[in-house]
Structure 1
Amino acid sequence: MPNGIVIIDKPADWTSMDVCAKLRGILNERRIGHGGTLDPMATGVLPVFVGQATRAVEFAENGEKEYLAGLRLGQVTDTEDTSGRVLETFPVAVTAADVAAALEPFRGPIQQIPPMYSAIKIQGKKLYELARKGQEVERKPRSVTIYELELVEQVNETDYVLRCRCSKGTYVRTLCHDIGRALGCGGAMYSLRRTMAAGFTLDDAVTLEDVQRRGEELLLPTDSLFQQHPILLLKSDKLEKRVRCGNPISLPGTADGTYRVYSQDRQFLCLSQARGGTLTSIKNFFGA
């Protein structure tokens, strides 16, 4: 059965779940999940987890992400991007220097009010379901972090390209909306390309057509998600047996931290935490 991670360059007008459904058919594997939703408008890096690797999805979802976002000044829409209904239009008289200066307050920890057209649930109802019925409900601000935000290009007098590296839960279209509001002329996102997620970049990405042609050979090993953590190789059958049974093991002198743990024959077993000379599994990835 196929197991591993494939980094898809998601095409426009596909949902993330559309991509997973397509890959279930191509790879003939039911257990497939993605590491962070992209709106249909968006393209770019979508890590998809296949088979046993689906156990790692939670680690991909929580990581930093990077985007190239198209900001269109002069209009406000109900979805905060140009796929929505235009609510207001304004003349645009700002310069590239004005846009660059307006980014400063949005760097670092900020508060965002989630858009109505989002999958967040309030009282069991997804916001976009309420929005489609013409309803609007109060949303509480959420804390997110914008690690990097810069102006990359001025396309014309209304359109700009921004690069944003941000935390989980950031709505880039809300960021565009809020920047437009700060500039006094409104703004909406007209394009979005994710260039990095879970440590994977566009250099790692393949198309659905590539997977259709080449299949399982494009799957990356599950441990490729954890390259930032050092390797810990178990040196005895006894230690390996304890790890496979889910028990902590004693490894005096091991520095505190997170490790990729491997069997003697270099099979990836688990992601583990070392503390005070004791190694405890965070998540197991070996088969039953």
Structure 2
Amino acid sequence: MINGIVNIYKEKGYTSHDVVAVLRKVIGQKKIGHTGTLDPDATGVLPVCLGRATKVCELLTDHDKTYEALLLLGKTTDTQDISGEVLEERDPGNLTEEEVRSCIESFIGEYDQIPPMYSALKVNGKKLYELAREGKTVERKSRKVQIHGIRILEMNLPHVRMEVDCSKGTYIRTLCHDIGEKLQVGGCMEELERTKVGRFLKKDAVTLDEVRQKMEQGEGAELFTPLDQIFAELPAVTVTDAKAWMSYNGNDLPERFLLEKEAWTDGQEVRVYDSRKNFIGLYQYRAPKKLFHIKKMFLDPEAEKIEK
């Protein structure tokens, strides 16, 4: 079984679930999960986790993301993107580039965003897009999202191409819609590409066809990021052979049971390994008790372990 993450470049026309289904056939294993839905018309970075790495799907979903989007001013649709039914068209011809730039940049920071009806969020157990397809509209609570930065790459009104750095849960379609509303001409998203999810970048992503070719050539291993490298920014520590059994069971580890002797700070997270380089899991330091507490276990049950 493969335990790792592959950085897929999702092409237009595929759903995120389609990508997982294709990979299950190509790689030949069932335990696969993606890290955040991309609309079928959207393209870009979609990290996919395999085997024990599926445990980090939620952690990767929480990471900040970067998108490149094409905003079309003057058109409002029910889906907030160009694929939807046009609800209203207004002439944006009197807008100046300065007005548009100022409006777009005003969204940098925290703002309250109302999730779109055409989204996978659930209300009373039913996805919003399912309700929308039935012609129903339900009240959605706004939620705070963080726009870390917006860079305008090209402005050729009524089109604006922009790059957006944002927190998890941000809908770029809705951002485009909200910009249009604030400019009083309406707006929708015409194109969307996700270029970054945490440490995963567009330049390193591979298509499904490329994965298929590599697997057929017996070179698939080079596509997968090892599970522990997702946390490469954290210090790596080694538990002593005599106390390794404690970490295998997820027990707290007094700092004296580690080979490394450091001045640890309260809340410090570390990657814990045994002397055979088995990745055991993420631990967090509790200064008052001078021990590390398990945060997430990743130990491979099939790995050769040191006996007590």
Instruction: Compute the TM-score of the two structures, normalised by the length of structure 2.
Output: 0.90
Which amino acid counterpart does residue 231 of structure 1 have in structure 2? A
- 1:219 maps to which residue? 224
- Find the aligned partners of 1:68 and 1:6 in 2 and give their Cα distance: 21
CA 1:97/1:233 → structure 2, altered by over 3 Å: closer, same or farther? farther
Q: Distance in 1 between matches of 2:141 and 2:112?
A: 9
SS of the equivalent of 1:38 reads coil
Q: Tell me which residue corresponds to 1:133.
A: 134
CA RMSD of aligned residues (A): 1.3
Q: How big is the shift at 1:27?
A: 0.6
Which residue is 1:285 aligned to?
Answer: 298
Q: Which residue of 2 aligns with 1:249?
A: 253
Q: Matches of 2:86 and 2:246 in 1, distance apart?
A: 61
Give the Cα–Cα distance (whole angstroms) in 1 for the partners of residues 6 and 87 of structure 2: 39
- Whichever of the two has the greater Rg, that structure is 2
Looking at structure 2, the residues matched to 266 and 254 of structure 1 have their Cα atoms a distance apart, in angstroms, of 22
Following TM superposition, the consecutive aligned residue runs of length 4 or more in structure 1 with deviations greater than 6 angstroms are none
Deviation at 1:28, TM superposition (A): 0.6
- Residues 112, 143 of structure 1: 8 Å contact kept: yes
Match of 1:259 in 2: 270
Per the TM alignment, residue 278 of structure 1 is displaced from its structure 2 partner at its CA by 1.1
Distance in structure 2 (CA, Å) of the matches to 1:57 and 1:70: 28
The farther-off stretch of 166-175 and 156-165 is: 156-165
Matches within 5 A, 1:79-98: 79-93=79-93, 94-98=95-99
Query: Percent of pairs identical after alignment?
Result: 44
Paired position in structure 1 for 2:36: 36
- Report the secondary structure of 1:232's partner residue: strand
Residues 100 and 150, structure 1, Cα contact 8 Å, conserved in 2: no
Task: State the shift of 1:81 in Å.
Answer: 0.3
Residues 75-224 of structure 1 aligned to structure 2 (within 5 Å): 75-93=75-93, 94-154=95-155, 156-215=156-215, 216-217=220-221, 218-224=223-229
Structure 2 unmatched runs, 5+:
257-262, 302-308
Distance 1:203 1:150 in 2: 19
Contact 1:81–1:189 (CA under 8 A) maintained in structure 2:
yes
Change beyond 3 A, Cα 1:188–1:273: same
Secondary structure of 2:212's aligned partner: helix
Which deviates more from structure 2 when the two are superposed, residues 165-174 or residues 90-99?
90-99
8 A Cα contact 1:4 1:50, kept in partner: yes
Please tell me whether residue 274 in structure 1 is matched to residue 285 in structure 2: yes
Q: How many residues align?
A: 286
2:275 aligns to what SS in structure 1?
coil
1:17 to partner: Cα distance: 0.6
Q: How far apart, CA to CA, are the structure 1 residues paired with 2:36 and 2:198?
A: 9
User: Any idea what SS the aligned residue of 1:239 has?
Assistant: helix
**What is the letter of the counterpart of residue 8 of structure 1?**
I
TM-score (norm 1): 0.96
State the one-letter code of the partner of 2:124: Q
Structure 2 vs 1, CA of residues 204 and 269 (structure 1 numbering), >3 Å: closer, same or farther? farther
